[in-house]
Homo-oligomer: A and B are copies of this chain.
Amino acid sequence: MAAPDTPSTLNELQTPCMTVDLDVVKANCTRMIERAQGLGVGLRPHMKTSKTLEGGRLLTGGSCSRIVVSTVAEAEFFASGGFDDITYGHIITQDKMPRLAVLAQKLKRFHVFIDCEEHIDLLEGEPLVPPGRMWSVIVKINTGYNRAGINWHDETLVPLVKKVRDSLWMDFEGIYIHEGMCYDKQGEAVKSTADEQIHRLMQVSELLSTHDIKCHTVSVGSTPSCSLPGKLMSKVTEIHPGNYVFYDVQQWQIGSCKRSDIALRVATRVMAHYPQRNELIVDCGFTALSHDGKGAMPNGTWCLIEGCPKLKFVRISQEYGVITTHEGSAMNYENLPIGKIIYLIPYHACATAAMHPVYYVHSGENIVEVWRPNRGW
């Protein structure tokens, strides 16, 4: 239920603000749960996009278990909210060790990432209590995306995993990749790209098994590859997409979703008309939309304007957006009176959601819930 002072319909919203279509979110979550079941793989949804307990409940089909998070603050937030199997999906660092130890001691299951010996030293320097309680360690693998992770063909990989296995303070849980390069592909090419990454990860798993080391977890994920699964997706133990809770214009461009699967919008309002320059201003700046995607869309803008295919954002500052028409066609100001709410469909949902202290969650025109996301580190 929304709080008593929350507007009851979208038309009553103060702008700018972020809206979430609850029915679309539910459908997105159900579709991924069913897809994972069909593939015979576990689903560990990433919380980094919605960062809300409500989103987490829908993403896990109500189980409130088996999630991955992007910050320690998120891990603490979901742990306090009753989630009991959490992967901290970020390389560990010295400063976070005491907080990570609290989580490892409190939660039923809590997994951390390492990719080099220095990270093992951090874990050995922070033994858990009671004695015998073990860190559950996932080795992050780089199969080509070149962000975090030890290279899949690195000769130090097996010695690294053996060091984890042989430690008094650690259990080796498995291996994990993010096939982020799928964001640069479309449609069928997403499938073949992800399959290549999965093939490399499976080779790591097979190599480790020749050393009698079992990967309980072989985890892959990105919203493009999990929305468009290739032939090898069923070979892993779990998938960990996240963005699909909301989807966005970027995902629509990739082919991960249909336009109607995008659940997140930014509501903004026409503030003034400037017919002399064929422009109008709205009360949405970068603090409500983010700068993400600038330059990435073919029309030179970085969001879509719902129901207004001829309009585009041309400039953005902290609290103002300037809108004009494509190719100089005349603005139809009568359809866009001062005060009218218009909806922006963001390029990147994760970046836009991070700008908002509150999400107004609606079913049709009715606001049915208010979600307050976690923030910080």
Are A319 and B93 also in contact (CB < 8 A) when A272-B116, A281-B148 are?
no
Q: Answer yes or no: A329 CB below 8 A from chain B CBs.
A: no
Convert A241-277 into 0s and 1s, putting 1 for each residue whose CB lies closer than 8 angstroms to a CB of B: 0000000000000000000000000000101111011
The CA of A109 and the CA of B288, in the complex, are separated in Å by 28
Q: Answer yes or no: A375 CB below 8 A from chain B CBs.
A: yes
Q: Answer yes or no: A184 CB below 8 A from chain B CBs.
A: no
Main secondary structure of the interface of A (DSSP, over half): loop
Instruction: State whether B295 touches A292 (Cβ < 8 A).
Output: no
Hey, which chain B residues are within 8 Å of A96, CB to CB?
Answer: 14
Instruction: State whether A94 touches B339 (Cβ < 8 A).
Output: yes
Q: In whole Å, how far is A352's beta carbon from the nearest beta carbon of chain B?
A: 11
CB closest residue in chain B, given A269: B93
Contact of A95 among B269, B288, B294, B317 (CB under 8 A): B269
CB closest residue in chain B, given A49: B318
Instruction: State whether B339 touches A17 (Cβ < 8 A).
Output: no
> Chain A interface: which size bin?
35 or more
Contact of A319 among B17, B90, B118 (CB under 8 A): B90
Instruction: State whether A91 touches B272 (Cβ < 8 A).
Output: yes
Instruction: State whether B148 touches A71 (Cβ < 8 A).
Output: no
CB closest residue in chain B, given A118: B338
Q: In whole Å, how far is A90's beta carbon from the nearest beta carbon of chain B?
A: 6
Convert A21-65 into 0s and 1s, putting 1 for each residue whose CB lies closer than 8 angstroms to a CB of B: 000000000000000000000000000100000000000000000
Are A90 and B291 also in contact (CB < 8 A) when A148-B271, A271-B148 are?
no
Contact of A291 among B71, B292, B319 (CB under 8 A): B292
CB closest residue in chain B, given A337: B118
Q: Answer yes or no: A141 CB below 8 A from chain B CBs.
A: no
Contact of A376 among B93, B274, B318, B357 (CB under 8 A): B357
Q: In whole Å, how far is A141's beta carbon from the nearest beta carbon of chain B?
A: 13
Instruction: State whether A375 touches B357 (Cβ < 8 A).
Output: yes
The CA of A151 and the CA of B274, in the complex, are separated in Å by 9
CB closest residue in chain B, given A357: B376
Q: Answer yes or no: A16 CB below 8 A from chain B CBs.
A: yes
Instruction: State whether B95 touches A13 (Cβ < 8 A).
Output: yes
CB closest residue in chain B, given A122: B339
Instruction: State whether A292 touches B286 (Cβ < 8 A).
Output: yes
Hey, which chain B residues are within 8 Å of A93, CB to CB?
Answer: 15, 269, 271, 283, 339
Hey, which chain B residues are within 8 Å of A91, CB to CB?
Answer: 271-272, 281, 283
Convert A288-312 into 0s and 1s, putting 1 for each residue whose CB lies closer than 8 angstroms to a CB of B: 1011101100000000000000000
The CA of A142 and the CA of B274, in the complex, are separated in Å by 11
Closest 6 CB pairs of A and B: A291-B291, A14-B95, A91-B271, A118-B338, A94-B339, A357-B376
17 further A-B pairs in the complex, CB-CB below 8 A; given A94-B269, A142-B274, A354-B355? A15-B93, A16-B377, A17-B377, A70-B318, A91-B271, A93-B283, A94-B339, A118-B339, A146-B277, A147-B315, A147-B317, A148-B272, A151-B276, A154-B276, A286-B290, A286-B354, A291-B291
A interface, CB within 8 angstroms of B: 13-17, 48, 70-71, 90-91, 93-96, 115-116, 118-119, 142, 146-148, 151, 154, 180, 269, 271-274, 276-277, 279, 281, 283, 286-288, 290-292, 294-295, 315, 317-320, 322, 338-339, 350-351, 354-358, 375-377
Question: What are 9 A-B interface contacts by the 8 Å CB criterion?
Answer: A15-B95, A93-B269, A93-B339, A94-B339, A95-B269, A142-B274, A286-B354, A287-B354, A354-B355
